Structure 1
Amino acid sequence: MIAPRRFLPSIPSLLALEAVDRLGSATAAGQELSLTHSAVSRQLKVLEGQLGVTLLVREGKGLALTPAGASYARSVRDCLADLAQASLRLRASGPRDSLSLALPPSFGLYWMGPRLHAFLRAHPDLLVNQSTRSAPFDFAREKFDAAVHYGPEDWPGVHYLPLTRERVIPMAAPARLAGGPLTPEALRAEPLLHLDSRPGAWEDWFAHHGIEAGQLRGMLFDQFTTMAEAAAAGFGLALLPDYLAQAEEARGRLARAYPAPLALEDRYALVWPRHSTPKPALRLLIDWLRAEGAAEEGPGAPL
């Protein structure tokens, strides 16, 4: 149940508080909100009177929030951001049902993307909104229906639907491989590119092939796609997931420095919060992934 109206300040007064907190003065807040200085001050006085708490104090020529006001302003900013996002999603989707997904960038583009296209062809009345996220977050604060997670099942409070294991392939610019694919020993002598979210990936690859890698050094990247760009430019060899490696291979930008992919223990999974019932659009996606065989065999998670 929503609180009684007497506890719900008006949107203009909340906008005034948020702007003063961020900009430091009623004058600057008024310029941003297209209000006069006195109009902003009136909004703040109404808000303080409604709440019965002093929110701001004057400091020199500006305004400063009291500790209570600063805490309240943070909550107000979060609420206004949620309201703006909800309005944007509604405006974009119109009468159609929508689904908001958080996806790792490369996986979302090269693996999940084609499957979402097929899903939407099967359900043309739906919209799927996508944002980039590479690490677990709080579903209660970020308004996503589901996300894709890579790694062990260490995201608390979520259901898991396994999707696929990561399979990696050493890739290089074709000019580096004039003599064809390399042996693991020859590959060890090449400059190697590294991803900061996959520490030890090359060491594990060499260990699987019976080689003591030692201390590996090289350029460091935060995304598979930028690492692939560096490999295509000839800076070194990149250990790429097969969905990206195959796409780069088809474009002729990269070639396999070693022919066989290596399947890793960790996998990608679709996750969604346990504390809420999946909306109909999410149920459709989960059922579709299972029916199309996009999800790996396994117990999955209940609906």
Structure 2
Amino acid sequence: MHERRFLPSISLLAAFEAVARTGSVTLAARELNLTQSAVSRQIRLLEEKLGVDLFLRERQTVKLTLAGDGYAREIREALRRISNASLNLRANPRGGTLNLAVPATFGARWLAPRLAGFLRENSGIIVNLVTRFTPFDFRTDSIDAAIHVGSAQWPDAQLDLLMAEKVQPVCSPQFRRECYVSSAAQLLDQPLLHLNSRPDAWERWFIHQGVSFQSLHGMLFDEFTIMAQAAAAGLGIALLPTFLIAEELERGQLVSIVDGEIESAEKYYLAYRAERADYPPLSAFRKWIISEAGIAD
């Protein structure tokens, strides 16, 4: 039995999604520039095609059934993806769109300043960036590839190593002048800034320095950039990736408080589905970013 037997037309699905979202045949008809009877007819045709009641009809109101509610969520996402694909194609009729998910700080501080070089070398490709922090299912998402930070684990995805990461303890110049720290052990008496996604980063750093400790406390942050700004403002000492704070170090807004740069447990990868590896925009981007990151292919 061919699956296309169960593939309704876009017009039927658009009518269903509009009624499901607005809760009104009248509002849906106005949005779609159709008559109410035309929208009602499309809903009935869709229900007949599927063999399932999607709405409960009470007097002049309609309400999604349990089955209709679940179907509406999936159809809404499918229509969104079709719309995005159409917008991408219109923006670049020759094709060549790459949808890339990136962590915000990496995207802003490392990737964005370099991306112009890739686009110059690949003038037919458009790169769309979205912010993502955790792995997702490529099979159900419209993302072609993602920058993954952490261990080499992403279900059902191919991972290309881009770079390792080194971190160092930094603070503002004034903070360093006023706290009189000269050894790693003395940092235990100072306010330490912590990142939510790396709760054991300071523990690993002190262990690497051979410093014993009981417990570590301090302000919590959910994003590198905010933590870097807090350190530059004199709120404490932050353990930050060196390559992501290159500008602050160069300008003197942040300074190393003790010699203690170490390689962190996190590494950077390009993640994608193996069967999409030959997609031309992804293939071109993969070769470029591996070269840019300094890892041999």
TM over 0.5: yes
**CA shift for structure 1 position 181:** 6.6
SS in 1 for 2:140: coil
Mean Cα displacement is larger for which, 30-39 or 116-125? 30-39
State percent identity of aligned pairs. Answer: 44
Q: Which residue of 1 aligns with 2:171?
A: 172
**Which position in structure 2 is the counterpart of 1:194?**
194
Q: CA deviation at 1:193?
A: 1.3
2:209 equivalent to 1:209: yes
Moved more, 247-256 or 150-159: 247-256
More helix by share: 2
Which is further off, 141-150 or 19-28? 19-28
Q: Deviations over 1:79-104 (max 9, x none)?
A: 10110111122223332522221111
Which amino acid in the other structure matches residue 23 of structure 1? T
Matched to 1:134, the amino acid is F
Q: Confirm or deny: 8 A CA contact 1:181 1:256 kept in the other structure.
A: no
**Correspondences of 1:3-82 after superposition (within 5 Å):** 4=4, 7-59=6-58, 62-82=61-81
4+ runs deviating over 6 angstroms: none
Give how far 1:133 is off: 1.1
> 1:84: which partner in 2?
83
Q: Deviations over 1:109-149 (max 9, x none)?
A: 22233343322232233222211111111111112221111
SS of residue matched to 1:165: strand
Change beyond 3 A, Cα 1:182–1:103: farther
Deviation at 1:37, TM superposition (A): 4.1
Equivalent residue for 1:237?
237
Alignment deviations for residues 202-223 of structure 1 (CA, whole Å, 9 cap, x no partner): 1111111111232222221111
Indicate whether 1:286 and 2:286 are aligned.
yes
In structure 2, distance between residues paired with 1:84 and 1:167: 41
- After TM superposition, give the deviation of residue 192 of structure 1 in Å: 1.3
Q: What is the distance in 1 between the residues matched to 2:10 and 2:158? A: 36
Q: 1:107 and 1:214 mapped to 2: Cα distance?
A: 32
Distance 2:174 2:19 in 1: 58
- 1:167 Cα deviation from its structure 2 partner: 0.9
Is the partner of 1:155 in helix, strand or coil? coil
* Runs of 5+ unmatched residues, structure 1: none
1:162–1:295 contact (8 Å) kept in structure 2: no
SS in 1 for 2:264: strand
Shift of 1:249: 1.8
Are 1:102 and 2:73 an aligned pair? no
1:182 deviates by 4.5
The Cα shift of 1:40 comes to 3.1
Give the distance between the partners of 1:96 and 1:81, measured in 2 at CA.
Answer: 19
Shift of residue 169 of structure 1? 1.6
Q: Report the aligned-residue RMSD.
A: 2.5
Deviates more, 1:162-171 or 1:66-75: 66-75
- Code of the residue aligned with 2:288 in structure 1: it is W
Amino acid at match of 2:40: S
Contact 2:209–2:260, Cα closer than 8 Å, also in 1: no
Tell me which residue corresponds to 2:249: 249
> Quick check: 8-17 or 149-158, which moved more?
8-17
Give the counterpart letter for 1:266 in structure 2: E
Find the residue that maps to 1:193 and give its secondary structure: strand
Higher mean alpha-carbon deviation, 126-135 vs 53-62, is at 53-62
- Superposed CA deviations along residues 231-284 of structure 1, whole A, max 9, x for unmatched, are 222222211111222122224332222344211233111121124343112222
State the TM-score, normalized to the length of structure 2.
0.88
Distance 2:164 2:14 in 1: 46
C-alpha distance in structure 1 between counterparts of 2:169 and 2:278, whole Å: 39
- In structure 2, C-alpha distance between the alignment counterparts of 1:188 and 1:255, rounded to whole Å: 18
Task: State the match for 1:221 in structure 2.
Answer: 221
> Partners in 2 of 1:220 and 1:31 — Cα distance?
49
Q: Tell me, yes or no, if the aligned pair for 1:167 and 1:261 is still in contact at 8 Å.
A: yes
Instruction: Give the 3 Å change call, closer, same or farther, for CA 37–232 of structure 1 in structure 2.
Output: farther
Deviation at 1:57, TM superposition (A): 0.9
Are the equivalent residues in 1 in contact too, given 2:192–2:218 (CA < 8 A)?
yes
Aligned residues: 295
